[in-house]
A and B are shown apart, each in its own frame.
Chain A
């Protein structure tokens, strides 16, 4: 499968623990996006990278959230001191190109449950 892959598919953690998710975009896609989706809502933008540069972060992204994309390939999203409100599906997407009308290719997501 040469699509966007995310790992793990599911993560259950206790409140206060740190978690890290990984996203592998489609090879050679220069843009990578992180979204969060809760039940009954559409995906909410969190942050995006163009190559290794993080160009925009949502105000939704508190100081407990950090994302990296070293070398402009895979990306990680870390949540520190998780809270129950962090429970959601975390989606990664990638695209090729520099315009804002490019098609996004989404992964299947990481479902986070914070107990």
Chain B
């Protein structure tokens, strides 16, 4: 079945540690890729997206993600996390021939000072 997989369900880090959250998708064709974030008590908001061009995309708050087509992956990275990055992170995919955004199960990130 077509799906989006986030293998890390819960990640705990200390401030200044580096972050990488995995995301893999199973769609064979062209896709648009997104990372959304939900901070505690807030609504979902876009962190970054990729639809064409440079496979390394930069988003808000120092986040970046790299699209590796051969691996069907779109991992999220940040070199040095802050306490304020504590949130739930969702990878999402829109297959080229549809308009619906398909989400992974999310990764809960906790950053301790």
Per the bound structure, the CA–CA distance linking A33 and B49 in Å amounts to 18
Chain A stretch 19-60: residues in CB contact (< 8 A) with chain B = 31, 33, 35, 40-45, 48, 55-56, 58
Task: Give bound CA distance, A31 to B94, whole Å.
Answer: 15
A91: chain B residues at CB < 8 Å are 44
Q: Point out the residue from B49, B96, B103, B106 that lies within 8 Å of A44, measured CB to CB.
A: B103
Number of interface residues of A (CB under 8 A): 26
When A100-B94, A100-B99 are in contact, do A40 and B105 touch as well, CB less than 8 Å? yes
**Which residues from B are CB-within-8-Å of A55?**
99
CB of A48 within 8 A of CB of B100, answer: yes
Establish whether residues B99 and A56, one from each chain, have CB atoms under 8 Å apart when the complex forms.
yes
Q: How far is the CB of B88 from chain A (nearest CB, A)?
A: 9
CA–CA, A40 to B49, complex, Å? 23
23 interchain pairs (CB within 8 A)? A4-B43, A33-B100, A35-B103, A40-B105, A41-B106, A42-B103, A42-B104, A42-B105, A42-B106, A43-B90, A43-B103, A44-B103, A45-B100, A48-B100, A55-B99, A56-B99, A58-B100, A100-B94, A100-B99, A101-B94, A104-B44, A106-B45, A108-B43
